[in-house]
């Protein structure tokens, strides 16, 4: 099965085109003011329109209150909403029931008990993204976690791998985890928030090379 690829934190039409042309299945738009990848809702709506149906558009929110969440969904019209803060399963289910959208939840992985707690999102999220633990920012920090923790985990939900991935290590990460989706942001940047077209292409090619080798 072909690995799905999400390029997150895009902020220009050029990098959206690059991600789509390289074979990304998902693109991520970040609406979180503290992030170097933050885009306004107006800009996110423009980028979402530019992406059209060429890839699934994921809108990333962090601990957004109900008013902002509703406004963001109405304005941007994403395919998926990704929550990257301390949102509860109850809140995710409420958003899903009211929006009809696919819901993803990012979780920082410290140890096996963290993974065990992820089961509480069954029935609330459509996919979990396992990422490095949050620091000053909840994601996009370029740090990874111990991938071996996922090796024998009995996943109860569709999932993806994030945190510290880059074109040089994604094949190793896939071999260690067999992730069905990989999510990258800082690993295809020259500086925080500035995506590089050649790195996007290299990352996607590395994933496709891995897939081809495993057939």
Instruction: Report pLDDT digits (tens) over 91-134.
Output: 999 999 999 999 999 999 988 888 888 999 999 999 999 998 86
Average pLDDT for the chain:
93
Average of per-residue pLDDT across 145-166? 92
Average of per-residue pLDDT across 187-194? 95
Q: Out of 37-41, 133-137, 178-182, which region has the weakest mean confidence (pLDDT)?
A: 133-137
Q: In this structure, are residues 108 and 83 in contact, taking their beta carbons and an 8 Å threshold?
A: no
What's the CA gap between 44 and 57, in Å, rounded?
10
Q: What is the pTM of this model?
A: 0.94
pLDDT of residue 136: 45
Average of per-residue pLDDT across 78-100? 97
pLDDT confidence of 139, banded at 50, 70, 90?
very low
Tell me which CATH homologous superfamily contains domain 4-213.
Aldolase class I (3.20.20.70)
Q: In this structure, are residues 160 and 183 in contact, taking their beta carbons and an 8 Å threshold?
A: yes
Average of per-residue pLDDT across 30-49? 97
Residue 124 φ/ψ, nearest 5 degrees: -115, -35
**3-state SS string for the chain:** CCCEEEECCCCCHHHHHHHHHHCCCEEEEEECCCCCCECCHHHHHHHHHHHCCCCEEEEEECCCCHHHHHHHHHHHCCCEEEECCCCCHHHHHHHHHHHCCEEEEEEECCCHHHHHHHHHHCCCCCEEEEECCCCCCCCCCCCCCCHHHHCCCCCCCCEEEECCCCCCCHHHHHHHHCCCEEEECHHHEEECCEECHHHHHHHHHHHHHHHHHCC
């Amino acid at each position: 099965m072909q690995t799905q690829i999400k390029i997150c934190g895009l902020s220009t039409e050029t990098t959206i085109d690059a991600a789509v042309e390289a074979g990304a299945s998902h693109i991520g738009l970040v609406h979180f003011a503290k992030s170097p990848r933050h885009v306004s809702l107006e800009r996110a709506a423009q980028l979402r329109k530019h992406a059209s149906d060429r890839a699934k558009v994921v809108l990333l929110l962090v601990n957004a209150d109900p008013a902002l969440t509703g406004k963001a969904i109405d304005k941007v019209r994403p395919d998926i909403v990704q929550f990257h803060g301390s949102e509860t399963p109850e809140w995710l289910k409420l958003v899903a029931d009211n929006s009809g959208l696919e819901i993803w939840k990012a979780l920082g992985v410290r140890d096996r008990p963290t993974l065990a707690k992820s089961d509480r999102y069954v029935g609330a999220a459509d996919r979990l993204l396992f990422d490095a633990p949050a620091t000053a920012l909840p994601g996009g920090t370029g740090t990874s976690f111990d991938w071996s923790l996922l090796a024998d985990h009995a996943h109860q939900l569709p999932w993806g791998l994030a945190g510290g991935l880059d074109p040089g290590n994604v094949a190793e990460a896939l071999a260690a985890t067999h992730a069905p989706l990989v999510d990258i942001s800082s690993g295809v940047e020259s500086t925080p928030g500035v995506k590089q077209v050649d790195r996007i292409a290299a990352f996607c090619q590395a994933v496709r090379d891995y897939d081809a080798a495993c057939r």
